[in-house]
């Protein structure tokens, strides 16, 4: 135990508790918990394998049923029929709600689900509840997520005959760091140490492995670089990535994502089939929930069929004497959802633009996720990329979880004799991170699509003579106005030496380490001074907790511009 310890930098001490043990002392499994479906995969020594539950399913449904006091999830729970979700006791689609406050449009769109989602529009978490014995039993998205995780963990431990402590969990690109902390909290509740991986980057890693194996097989050495466009659309989220792949290394060049998905297609179609759908179900009685569920199941079924046939007959008895009989054509479905498809196209355009990649540079277009069978989605991507065919090499429902399992194996440091794990996923930041300055502007310090780990800094200055304090409000997002981005936290630096405005140099440095932890360092000094006037403050982000959506507003109300900053124009 007399090994020398090389750590000298003081900043590693403050985070030492996170690093003292290797993150992956054993092989991590990959988990994909989608808005509607979940799955778990592991590296079996030679390849990735998906686990099956007792009903022989590899892809399980993401819902939790509350009965009496014991909730049980869709992994283990035996549900006889889809219609069991009509009682109001089944909670699902929680991935769409995690880490969101009740002013969020995505939360409002979830109010048509057959259980209770109530909003008060004050910036706190929504009230979510299941109907159990005629009483509303409240729950949280984190609790529901933790139940899935515990069930998947138990299933894997039983089958693999070893304890599972480490997982790679896939997440949507558009999740803010605040949402990530909620996901991490759910994992902690389930007793799991987690590494989070954006879904399309997991798919990109699987693609990199397939290309590498092909190159080895064809004896081409590491091959030349291939640019892939990855499009992943599930029930809740649409994600796009552009990756550059070669020699087993997958480098993410750009990411784009939005909370649009199959759920929006479903709701638009429901509204089209039954225009007064919202008023019919406004009361949330047991009957309304039942009818809402019936319509949902029938519409879902119809949308699935429209992927393979040009029209579908819908026949559903909604009770109360009302009956819905209608033929829905594929054209109608596409027309009703034209806005969703337009948004998908915009995400692809944006991602290609951000990656600075031309359509001719694309080697492959990979389309995965629950919506990948929809003809309009496929034609849209083929049109956009001017390709006659999409990439065929992977199962669209298993790609993300397989990629996560690969990342788990790679990060665990195990070697594969055939080189199947000589892989690396180089990630990029999905959103810009910066501070509020120059009035009410968002000034990015780490821009979007910066390769991670990353470290960047900018210099700011004071707005008032003899200003001794400055407020650092950290945001994440892409909007120019600060308050339209996700608030991650705030702190103030004090003891700025007295000086005319515009003179002190306030350096803000942001650091994302290999475990994706964000730290913000801030310090002030006068030009020419060799030492900072105050010791550098180092703050881990995010620091805000639930229900703090109004903090930035309150800060502004209390302090006005008294502690503001502006960017310092460097004299050249």
* Site residues for other proteins per CB under 8 A: 1, 3, 5-7, 9, 12, 19-25, 222, 224-225, 244, 246-249, 251, 410-411, 413, 422, 424-426, 451, 453-457, 507, 509, 513-514, 521, 523, 525, 529-532, 535-536, 571-572
**How far from chain centre, in Å, is Cα 494?**
35
Taking the complex as a whole, the smallest distance from the CB of residue 532 to other proteins amounts, in Å, to: 5
State the maximum Cα–Cα separation within the chain, in Å, rounded to a whole number: 83
Residue closer to other proteins, measured from CB, 301 or 361:
361
Taking the complex as a whole, the smallest distance from the CB of residue 451 to other proteins amounts, in Å, to: 5
Show the CA angle centred on residue 326, arms to residues 320 and 331, nearest 5°. Answer: 145
Taking the complex as a whole, the smallest distance from the CB of residue 157 to other proteins amounts, in Å, to: 18
Helix (H, G, I), strand (E, B) or coil at 468: coil
Is the Cβ–Cβ distance between 517 and 452 less than 8 Å? no
Taking the complex as a whole, the smallest distance from the CB of residue 426 to other proteins amounts, in Å, to: 6
Residue closer to other proteins, measured from CB, 430 or 523:
523
Taking the complex as a whole, the smallest distance from the CB of residue 418 to other proteins amounts, in Å, to: 17
Residue closer to other proteins, measured from CB, 277 or 539:
539
Q: How far apart are CA 118 and CA 102, in angstroms?
A: 8
Taking the complex as a whole, the smallest distance from the CB of residue 194 to other proteins amounts, in Å, to: 15
Task: Determine the angle formed by the axes of helices 199-217 and 399-411, rounding to 10 degrees.
Answer: 80
The β-bridge partners of 31 are 40, 169
Listed in sequence order, the residues at least 6 apart from 468 whose beta carbon sits closer than 8 Å to its beta carbon are 494, 495, 496, 498
The β-bridge partners of 313 are 327
Phi, psi of 43, rounded to the nearest 5 degrees: -85, 115
Helix (H, G, I), strand (E, B) or coil at 426: strand
Taking the complex as a whole, the smallest distance from the CB of residue 512 to other proteins amounts, in Å, to: 10
Taking the complex as a whole, the smallest distance from the CB of residue 450 to other proteins amounts, in Å, to: 8
Residue closer to other proteins, measured from CB, 124 or 533:
533
Residue closer to other proteins, measured from CB, 49 or 225:
225
Residue closer to other proteins, measured from CB, 85 or 454:
454
Q: How far apart are CA 291 and CA 211, in angstroms?
A: 49
Structure tokens at 293: 């569920």
Nearest to 242 by CA among 152, 399, 84, 350: 350
Q: How far apart are CA 233 and CA 572, in angstroms?
A: 47
Q: How far apart are CA 541 and CA 439, in angstroms?
A: 23
Residue closer to other proteins, measured from CB, 275 or 413:
413
Residue closer to other proteins, measured from CB, 23 or 154:
23
């Amino acid at each position: 135990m007399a090994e020398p310890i090389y750590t000298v930098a003081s900043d590693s001490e403050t985070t030492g508790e996170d690093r003292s043990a290797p993150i992956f002392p054993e092989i991590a499994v990959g988990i994909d918990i989608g808005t509607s479906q979940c799955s778990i995969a592991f590296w079996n020594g030679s390849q990735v394998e998906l686990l099956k539950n007792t009903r022989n399913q590899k892809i399980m449904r993401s819902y939790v049923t509350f009965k009496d006091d014991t909730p049980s999830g869709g992994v283990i729970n035996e549900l006889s029929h889809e219609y069991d979700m009509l009682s109001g006791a089944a909670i699902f689609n929680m991935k769409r709600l995690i880490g969101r406050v009740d002013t969020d449009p995505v939360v409002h769109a979830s109010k048509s689900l057959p259980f209770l989602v109530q909003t008060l529009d004050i910036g706190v978490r929504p009230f979510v509840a299941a109907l159990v014995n005629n009483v509303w039993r409240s729950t949280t998205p984190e609790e529901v997520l933790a139940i899935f995780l515990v069930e998947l963990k138990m299933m894997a431990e039983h089958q693999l005959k070893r304890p599972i402590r480490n997982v790679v969990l896939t997440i949507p690109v558009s999740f803010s760091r605040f949402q990530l902390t909620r996901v991490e909290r759910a994992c902690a509740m389930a007793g799991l140490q987690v590494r989070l991986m954006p879904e399309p980057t997991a798919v990109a890693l699987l693609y990199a492995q397939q290309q590498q194996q092909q190159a080895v097989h064809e004896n081409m050495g590491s091959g030349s670089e291939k640019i892939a466009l990855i499009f992943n659309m599930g029930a809740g989220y649409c994600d796009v990535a552009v990756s550059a792949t070669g020699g087993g290394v997958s480098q993410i060049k750009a990411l784009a994502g939005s909370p649009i998905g199959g759920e929006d297609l479903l709701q638009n179609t429901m509204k089209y089939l039954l225009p007064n759908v919202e008023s019919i179900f406004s009361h949330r009685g047991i009957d309304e929930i039942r009818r809402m569920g019936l319509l949902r199941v029938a519409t879902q079924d119809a949308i699935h069929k429209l992927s393979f046939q040009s029209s579908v007959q819908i026949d559903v008895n909604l009770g109360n004497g009302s009956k819905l009989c209608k033929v829905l054509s594929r054209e109608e479905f596409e027309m009703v959802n034209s806005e969703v498809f337009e948004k998908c196209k915009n995400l692809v355009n944006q991602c290609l633009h951000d990656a600075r990649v031309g359509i001719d540079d694309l080697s492959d277009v990979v389309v995965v996720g629950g919506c990948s069978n929809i003809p309009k989605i496929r034609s849209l991507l083929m049109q956009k990329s001017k390709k006659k065919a999409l990439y065929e090499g992977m199962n669209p429902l298993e790609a993300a979880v397989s990629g996560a399992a690969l990342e788990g194996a790679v990060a665990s440091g195990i070697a594969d004799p055939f080189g199947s794990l000589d892989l690396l996923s180089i990630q990029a930041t999905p959103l810009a991170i910066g501070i509020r300055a120059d009035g009410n502007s968002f000034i990015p310090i780490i821009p979007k699509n910066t390769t991670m780990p990353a470290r960047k800094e900018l210099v700011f200055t004071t707005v008032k003579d003899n200003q001794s304090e400055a407020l650092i409000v950290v945001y994440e997002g892409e909007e120019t106005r600060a308050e339209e981005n996700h608030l991650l936290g705030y702190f103030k630096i004090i003891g700025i030496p007295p000086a005319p405005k515009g003179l002190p140099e306030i350096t803000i440095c942001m650091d994302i380490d290999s475990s994706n932890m964000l730290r913000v360092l801030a310090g002030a000094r006068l030009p020419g001074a060799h030492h900072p006037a105050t010791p550098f403050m180092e703050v881990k982000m995010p620091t805000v907790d639930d229900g703090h959506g109004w903090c930035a507003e309150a800060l502004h109300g209390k302090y006005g511009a008294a502690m503001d900053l502006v960017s310092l124009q460097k004299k050249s």
